[in-house]
Amino acid sequence: MHPAFSVIFFTAASGAGYGLVALVGLLSAFGRVPQAGWFGFAALAFALALITAGLLSSSFHLGRPERAWRAFSQWRSSWLSREGVIAVLSYAPTGVFGLGWVVFGRTDGWFALAGLMATAMAMLTVWCTAMIYASLKPIHQWHNKWVPANYLSLALLTGALWLNALVHLWGRPDPVVGAIAVAATLLAAWLKESYWRFIDTVPAASTPESATGLGARGTVRVLDAPHTEENYLLKEMGYKVARKHAVKLRRLARLFAFALPLALTLAAFVAPAPLALLAALVAAGSAMLGVLVERWLFFAEARHTVTLYYGARQV
Amino acid sequence: MDGSPAAGKSVRKRTLTERLFGGQEQVDTSPKVADEVKYTTCYMCACRCGIKVHLLDGRIRYIEGNRNHPINRGVLCAKGSAGIMQQYSPAKLTKPLRRVGERGAGEFKEIEWDEALGLASEWLGRIRASDPRKLAFFTGRDQSQSLTGWWAAQFGTPNFAAHGGFCSVNMAAAGLYTVGGSFWEFGEPDWERSEYFLMFGVAEDHDSNPIKLGISRLKARGAKFVSVNPVKTGYSAVADEWIGIRPGTDGLFVFALIHELLRADRIDLDFLARYTNAPWLVIRNPGQGDDGLFTRDAEGNPLAWDAKKQAAVNALGVDVSPAIAGEVTLPDGRKAVPVFQLLAERYLDPSYAPDEVAKRCGVPADTIRRIAAELAHAAFAKQIVLDQPWTDWAGRRHDKMIGRPVAMHAMRGISAHSNGFHTCRAIHVLQMLLGAVDTPGSWRYKAPFPRSCPPPGKPGGKTVAANTPLGGMPLGFPLGPEDLLVEADGTPQRIDKAYSWEAPVAAHGLMHMVITNAWKGDPYPIDTLFMYMSNMSWNSAMNTAGTIGMLTDKDPATGEYKIPRIIYSDAYFSEMVAYADLLLPDTTYLERWDCISLLDRPIGSAEGPADSIRQPVIKPDRDVRPFQEVLIDLGARLKLPGLTNPDGTAKYPGGYPDYIANHESKPGIGPLAGWRGEDGESHGTGPANPRQLDKYIEHQCFWHYELPADQLYYKHANRNYLETAKRLGFIDKAEQIVLQLYSEPLQKFRLAARGFGPVQPPDRERARIEANFDPLPIWHMPFEEAAVDNDTFPLHAITQRPMPMYHSWGSQNAWLRQIMSHNRLYMNRRTAASLGIADDDWVWVTSHHNRVKAQVRLMEGVNPNTVWTWNAIGKRAGAWNLAHNAPEAVRAFLLNHVISELLPERNGYRYSNSDPVTGQAAWYDLRVRVEKADAVEAGETAPSFPPLKTPPGLASPPSILRYGADFKSRDAAEEGGK
Amino acid sequence: MTSYVSPATGQKQLGLVIDLDTCVGCHACAVNCKEWNTGGHSAPLPDYAPYAADASGVWFNRIHSFEAGEGDDSRTVHFPKSCLHCAEPACVEVCPTGASYKREEDGIVLVNADTCIGCKLCSWACPYGAREFDEDAGVMKKCTLCIDRIYNDNLDEVDRVPACVSTCPASARHFGDLGDPNSTVSRLVAERGGFDLMPELGYKPINKYLPARAARKTAGCTGAPAALEPAGVDGAKGLLRWLDRALSR
Ligand SMILES: Nc1nc2c(c(=O)[nH]1)N[C@H]1C(S)=C(S)[C@@H](COP(=O)(O)OP(=O)(O)OC[C@H]3O[C@@H](n4cnc5c(=O)[nH]c(N)nc54)[C@H](O)[C@@H]3O)O[C@H]1N2
Ligand SMILES: Nc1nc2c(c(=O)[nH]1)N[C@H]1C(S)=C(S)[C@@H](COP(=O)(O)OP(=O)(O)OC[C@H]3O[C@@H](n4cnc5c(=O)[nH]c(N)nc54)[C@H](O)[C@@H]3O)O[C@H]1N2
Ligand code: SF4
Ligand code: SF4
Ligand code: SF4
Ligand code: SF4
Ligand code: SF4
Ligand SMILES: [Mo]
């Protein structure tokens, strides 16, 4: 699949934003984040900025952005529609939660509930985003259970690392937050590795033979494509990344999304304050970069069944 | 289909979301399609299907097939469906052009028509007043040969031909000299009745849609379809059996089939005795001047041996019991044998046994034996008996029509080889042995064929004089050496050397040799090359680079171009345009009158003759004129006899439509056969009808005469049909047309080679004529293969026509070029592996002449000794108003770059790369080697030529096309207005 | 949960049946489709860089060519493909705007160009590559089954079939109601073993493909023997056989 930058940025940024919202909502209910209104403002503003930038960027992907509002209509069947609806709805609990925290300085009671609701809706939004991909049967690399797990865990990972950076920035490092960041990193790494193992080992059901129904006669090969130059289908869905290249990029993703953040987060536990802050910040930035690479690969490694009609031996 | 309008509306309760976000779309299922529908004839290729052009707001909304048209019965091919894009092509020429820079530099200035025509008539007038031969007038893909040929004759030059010489003259000539009709587009399988269809070397054919319609019909009925073709695509892909023969060996394959049929005595002797010259007696008198000629009586009738009377009798008589074997002694003491015996002796020879030819052809002997058995089974075990009485040529009534449901068709896979004439004759002989010519279920003539056999009409031009029309038409059919166009010493009289000893039966000329010969001044220099609708500097040239050089070469002594003047008419900016000194821009096929005449390349079918017209359906938006109109105007300016009245005024002041309706080539015979006579009630022949074109328009632009049921078969011997044909003006006498297994005219040339007769070949030609003018079909190795080292050039290289492209002119079409703008070199997967070549690799294809670079596509369905590509996809950069980096110019290639118009030298002489009998260009004799190109060479083709400059006046190509958007907004506007 | 309801059995489901046994790969249907539709319901079908490098455009129907099998036994198959008007069209399900829909009355899958936001998701959801994005207008387009022909009162009855069907020179395309088991097309599918593309994905395409028939190249395939019996005409005495054959003209 063609790795459209707007979509990659959207999922990575909004994922981090929702991850952050989710963690802040959850932890603040348990009083595990600084109670200061300024902190709340910074955390939530940063999260909403990530989310909003992502959402805006995703509309660049639309052929008719001015009609984007129409996308709220099909929530009964379309994951994209659901994602849109929930994304918009999630502003409400997050707003109430933020209002309580920043303006009224309160994170308890109804506001805590709003925080928990924000957590749930943030995660739900990420899940919807993942389900947009996971529901697409023609794309074996997307249509599997690892995809929602990856999306959720990576959102948590980036959210946790940003939260850790924020608490360090606030001068209030918290071992629980640090531990969550470490756990999220390990979980996300394990899920991503499982995903990669899955797409490397489990073949798609569809083949050129099933795509054409000609399998009974033997191997099916393309003699001539319908057009000698690329058409929309190939430009959009025929993107191919060389195996060698993919291996390299996976390494980079591992490094930036998991290895470095893990090491830096651990280092932040023990390092003196200014260095710990730097470590936490770099960990979050590195994870963002890692997720961008991961997301690029998520598209680039995804192979659509339509390519079976254009010479792909497998998808 | 349930087509009730209610079904088009969706009725459903609107949900909440629908009310919020708008409901389901209301689809207009009955939009208006056209303000007006005009019928005309397609010319996206030469098949000439009937079309309906839907016009909306003065633009073309849709072109569809005419269901009533006999050729296409409503269907349309890809090209025909892309007519809109041809009409709006930015490659359309817009105004007459005169060269201002060096020839080939593409520097032109626009001039007015008056100046253009004045210039042309000045140039041509000078030639006509001195030596009319100095005008070489060659036309390409046109359909107006009866006009152009007649014009040339009026002008007085023998140097006229159309594209047939490089196209398929082998098929035409072999057919006309053998069965009085031909494959090409003049015959067709009996699609409704055939049980077995054997097709040789056909990719797309002039019968594009009819063949597709036919094959699906045949398959639906469960008949077996066998395709003999080195490549398994298109028709071969849907064949029940594919025979992936090695190119150039079909003759041997056919001989082996004949061998098998003879050996098993599974042949139709009755058919042979009645309808062919099988019983005719051939003189056996080795070393003498009558050897191999037919015995004839005092009236010139051929003789046969009457087994009952035990005497030689007129072979054309009615009550004859002819012997078909056994040597006889004639009253004058000479020995003679029936044709059949010679034939049987020849093909029973063990050298034609399946086991012998199998290796050469690459077809297993068992397959050959099985095909022979299947042919015999289909012809005899599945014999068709129609309850249809008919009367034969002798007036005898038959209750039934007996059919041999085996049909054959062959085209350029046979034709475009130097042994193609004989191979095609071999196929016709095979048909005759099976009794499968124009019988129910077999191959059938398309009216106006059959014609007398060998064909009538000799080439004109023996004598040429200033300001004098030619004594006859330039093209014709020689029946012996005395009909050749040669000087006493054997020097060719025509610029293309047609009808010379190098190509005696060159019934369509040798267009592929004109530029080379004119450049060399061999046999003589010319003054003006006048061409129409032919891309002779590119895809119809052999030796492209050489041809370009010759077109621009100057005589160092005089500084004049070797070909001093070139006048060219094209409708589009083709590669050839750059080489014109004077360019006459033509209209498109939707803008002009045209006449698809029985006198040209008719569109008749086996069910009856047909002709048709094109009418202008859209007005040109440029300063262009129909070429026929221009030719008639030029003729009047030159005061050509047929085009001027005695008082010097133009004979056809109304231009081409005037000519179509009023010209008569013979009294009562004009370009169109329908609705003749003052009252418009005569068909075939009759006085001119000034309202004839209106009649055609009333009848959807075509005329089709349906033959009655008793005339549908055995046309060569069917009295009622022959009388109809005479009445319609197709034949002079309603006489049986006897099919010629043995071709006596060929023997006459051979006797000349042996030293007999007054017209003698130069000594150099004797052996060649002796070998190639065998009166029975022979096979020889294709000349190029025989001349080059086959270890150095181990592969055959051929081309195929892509179904959605018409030669070079498809690439300017925005829709068609999206289908194919890059052609690959297709190779057998195993052959490629043995050469270390992988899919998508770039390779050099090298012949004895040149080399070209191409990208490879591997496949299974191709003969392992053969590589091939799609024809005419490669384009010169800049031509057709395409971007210079268009794939057509950067990646696509022409095999023409490596095909030479001349064979390698032998005994100090280079013959043209042609069939020695007809002069047919031997495109598919090409031998090559294929080598992987260096990595740095990948990605681009070579050779590449400097880009052509865009001539003035052309539209600038849009970067995005939204054709049809207007129709939609019009809908919206109308909706809004309601 | 979805707003889309699968068609009930027996419900009208218009579609195409494509005969791979006779399709010669001529592209007529593809070009005629383009020609009709560029001025039709989904007008226009734009073309980008139409006279330059990398030309591409919107086509509702495309012709592929495949080879199946090895060596002489391989079969070249020309393979037209347009929207299959699936019974379970995920392209409709994923559409966030409802612009994609399947008509209840005849099963035709359409896009409402007035409400499409051009998110391209439907084209990702279609396994067959039957969706065509109009970059220029920013909306998705696709085969309409010629909805503006098949019910068009301005056309003669015989012409009320999809453009690709009426133009196909090899009669390889058939149009009709595949929801009705007794329709001509349904019977054709039953007789010839018509099949679905990628049945494993469960889209239940309405369009069906008829398989290419097996080659006929074994002895007896037409009823003829493997070789002809010699009649003893070989050699010197061979021609004797024909010497006194009684024939007449
Ligand atoms: N390698 C290889 N070469 C081949 C062949 C092959 O099989 N292989 N085939 C050969 C054969 S059989 C043929 S017939 C030739 C064909 O080759 P050409 O006869 O050269 O055919 P086209 O390329 O179509 O060129 C015809 C010219 O007519 C112009 N034209 C189109 N419409 C009109 C019109 O309405 N009016 C006028 N005035 N001009 C028009 C086009 O712009 C074009 O320049 O190619 C030959 N060349
Ligand atoms: N779409 C389209 N239609 C056209 C044309 C076009 O350019 N495009 N051109 C028109 C013209 S001018 C012509 S002349 C006709 C020609 O119509 P065809 O005769 O169908 O033309 P080719 O494409 O030359 O086909 C030659 C076929 O013969 C095969 N072949 C080559 N060598 C041999 C051999 O030795 N033996 C056998 N058995 N087969 C062999 C090739 O693989 C190829 O399939 O088509 C006309 N129709
Ligand atoms: S075969 Fe195609 S291009 Fe040729 S005349 Fe017919 S419709 Fe036109
Ligand atoms: S073929 Fe594709 S676009 Fe058509 S209905 Fe099925 S899924 Fe949708
Ligand atoms: S591109 Fe249009 S039709 Fe397709 S899913 Fe998006 S909104 Fe629906
Ligand atoms: S049904 Fe109509 S829109 Fe669909 S492929 Fe055929 S011609 Fe095109
Ligand atoms: S028009 Fe018919 S034969 Fe040609 S590609 Fe389409 S389906 Fe095949
Ligand atoms: Mo030709």
**pLDDT (mean) for B544-549:** 97
- pLDDT tens digits, B651-668: 999 999 999 999 999 999
Q: In terms of residue numbers, what domain contains C139?
A: 14-222
8 Å CB contact between B438 and B124: no
A240 interfacial to chain B (CB closer than 8 Å): no
Element (H, E) at C223: none
> Which of B144, B572, B577, B796 to mutate for ligand 1's pocket (most ligand atoms within 8 Å of CB)?
B572
Distances (CA, A) of B82 to A137, B620, B967, C212: 36, 18, 17, 28
| Cα–Cα distance measured from residue B923 to residue B411, given in angstroms and rounded to the nearest whole number | 13
CATH number for the domain running over B172-448: 3.40.228.10
Bond preceding residue B455 cis, omega within 30 of 0? no
Amino acid occupying residue B609? P
For residue B229, which of B96, B97, B329, B362 has the smallest C-alpha distance? B362
Nearest CA in chain B to A219: B860
8 Å CB contact between B414 and B258: no
- pLDDT tens digits, C38-61: 999 999 999 999 999 999 999 999
When scoring A6, A233, A307 by the number of chain C Cβ atoms within 10 A, the one with the most, hence best to mutate, is A233
**Residue-wise burial string across A261-288, b where 16 or more C-beta atoms lie within 10 A, e elsewhere:** bbebbbbbeebeeeebbbbbbbbbbbbb
Does residue C1 fall inside a structural domain? no
Domain with CATH 3.40.50.740 in chain B: 97-168+467-590
**pLDDT (mean) for B776-804:** 98
| Cα–Cα distance measured from residue B208 to residue B72, given in angstroms and rounded to the nearest whole number | 9
Does residue C24 fall inside a structural domain? yes
Is C23 in contact with B238 (Cβ distance < 8 A)?
yes
Which band of pLDDT confidence, cut at 50, 70 and 90, is reported for residue C234? confident
pLDDT at B14: 55
Distances (CA, A) of B367 to B239, B371, B434: 15, 6, 19
- pLDDT tens digits, B830-843: 999 999 999 999 99
Task: Give CA C123 to chain center in angstroms.
Answer: 19
pLDDT at B13: 53
CA of C34, closest atom in ligand 6: 8
pLDDT at A302: 97
pLDDT at B21: 72
Q: How far away, in angstroms, is B63 Cα from ligand 3 center? A: 11
The answer to whether the CB of C143 is under 6 A from ligand 4 is no
The answer to whether the CB of C99 is under 6 A from ligand 5 is yes
pLDDT at B972: 62
C139 interfacial to chain A (CB closer than 8 Å): yes
The answer to whether the CB of B924 is under 6 A from ligand 2 is yes
Is A218 in contact with C69 (Cβ distance < 8 A)?
yes
Lookup: tokens for B63: 């072109």
Q: Quote the radius of gyration of chain C (alpha carbons, Å).
A: 25
pLDDT at B8: 37
Does residue C229 fall inside a structural domain? no
**pLDDT (mean) for C84-100:** 97
Q: How far away, in angstroms, is C27 Cα from ligand 6 center? A: 13
When scoring A74, A228, A310 by the number of chain B Cβ atoms within 10 A, the one with the most, hence best to mutate, is A228
**Residue-wise burial string across B195-220, b where 16 or more C-beta atoms lie within 10 A, e elsewhere:** bbbbbbbbbbbbbbbbbbbbbbbbbe
The answer to whether the CB of C42 is under 6 A from ligand 5 is no
Nearest CA in chain C to A136: C125
Lookup: tokens for A119: 């957590």
pLDDT at C7: 82
Chain C residues near residue B75 by CB distance under 8 angstroms? 28, 166-169
Domain count, chain C: 1
Given a cut of 70, whether residue B472 has pLDDT beyond it is: yes
Chain C residues near residue A314 by CB distance under 8 angstroms? none
- pLDDT tens digits, B435-447: 999 999 999 999 9
pLDDT at B141: 80
pLDDT at B17: 62
Chain C residues near residue A136 by CB distance under 8 angstroms? 90, 94, 124-125
Element (H, E) at B373: helix B365-376
Amino acid occupying residue B832? A
Q: Which segments within chain C are labelled E, that is strand?
A: 14-19, 47-48, 56-57, 61-68, 75-82, 100-102, 109-111, 131-134, 139-142, 173-177, 208-210
Is A62 in contact with C133 (Cβ distance < 8 A)?
no
Does residue C124 fall inside a structural domain? yes
Restricting to A residues 58-117, those with a Cβ less than 8 Å away from any Cβ of C are: 61-65, 67-68, 70-74, 76-81, 84
Distances (CA, A) of B829 to A220, B301, B619, B806, B822: 14, 58, 51, 28, 20
Is residue B210 left, alpha or beta, with left meaning phi > 0 and alpha meaning psi from -120 to 50? alpha
The answer to whether the CB of B541 is under 6 A from ligand 1 is no
Q: Which of A223, A226, A227 has the CB atom closest to B859's CB atom? A: A223
B415 interfacial to chain A (CB closer than 8 Å): no
- Kindly give the confidence (pLDDT) of every residue in chain A, 315 residues in length, as a single tens digit, with 9 standing for 90 and above: 999 999 999 999 999 999 999 999 999 999 888 889 999 999 999 999 999 999 999 988 899 999 999 999 999 999 999 999 999 999 999 999 999 999 999 989 999 999 999 999 999 999 999 999 999 999 999 999 999 999 999 999 999 999 999 999 999 999 999 999 999 999 999 999 999 999 999 999 999 999 999 999 999 999 999 999 999 999 999 999 999 999 999 999 999 999 999 999 999 999 998 999 999 999 999 999 999 999 999 999 999 999 999 999 999
Which stretches of chain A are DSSP H helices?
5-29, 37-60, 79-98, 109-134, 146-169, 175-201, 208-212, 232-237, 243-253, 260-270, 273-300
Does residue C238 fall inside a structural domain? no
Which band of pLDDT confidence, cut at 50, 70 and 90, is reported for residue B974? low
pLDDT at B324: 95
Does residue C246 fall inside a structural domain? no
pLDDT at B7: 38
Which band of pLDDT confidence, cut at 50, 70 and 90, is reported for residue B5? very low
- pLDDT tens digits, B43-80: 999 999 999 999 999 999 999 999 999 999 999 999 99
Does residue C27 fall inside a structural domain? yes
Lookup: tokens for B901: 């118009």
Is A228 in contact with B887 (Cβ distance < 8 A)?
yes
Chain A and chain C share a number of CB contacts under 8 A equal to 211
**pLDDT (mean) for B256-282:** 97
CATH architecture assignment, domain B97-168+467-590: 3-Layer(aba) Sandwich (3.40)
Domain with CATH 3.40.228.10 in chain B: 172-448
Given a cut of 90, whether residue B354 has pLDDT beyond it is: yes
The ipTM value here is 0.96
B818 interfacial to chain A (CB closer than 8 Å): yes
Domain with CATH 2.40.40.20 in chain B: 783-937
CATH number at residue C192: 3.30.70.20
Q: Which of C159, C234, C247 has the CB atom closest to B273's CB atom? A: C247
Q: Which is higher by pLDDT, B144 or B414?
A: B414
Is C242 in contact with B859 (Cβ distance < 8 A)?
no
- pLDDT tens digits, C138-195: 999 999 999 999 999 999 999 999 999 999 999 999 999 999 999 999 999 999 999 9
Is B822 in contact with A229 (Cβ distance < 8 A)?
yes
Q: How far away, in angstroms, is B790 Cα from ligand 3 center? A: 40
Residue with tokens 């529901």: A135
Name the class of domain B783-937. mainly beta
pTM for this prediction: 0.97
> Which of C17, C19, C20, C27 to mutate for ligand 7's pocket (most ligand atoms within 8 Å of CB)?
C27
Given a cut of 80, whether residue B731 has pLDDT beyond it is: yes
Which band of pLDDT confidence, cut at 50, 70 and 90, is reported for residue B25? confident
C68 interfacial to chain B (CB closer than 8 Å): no
Q: How far away, in angstroms, is C80 Cα from ligand 7 center? A: 7
Ligand nearest to the CA of B512: 1
Which band of pLDDT confidence, cut at 50, 70 and 90, is reported for residue B599? very high
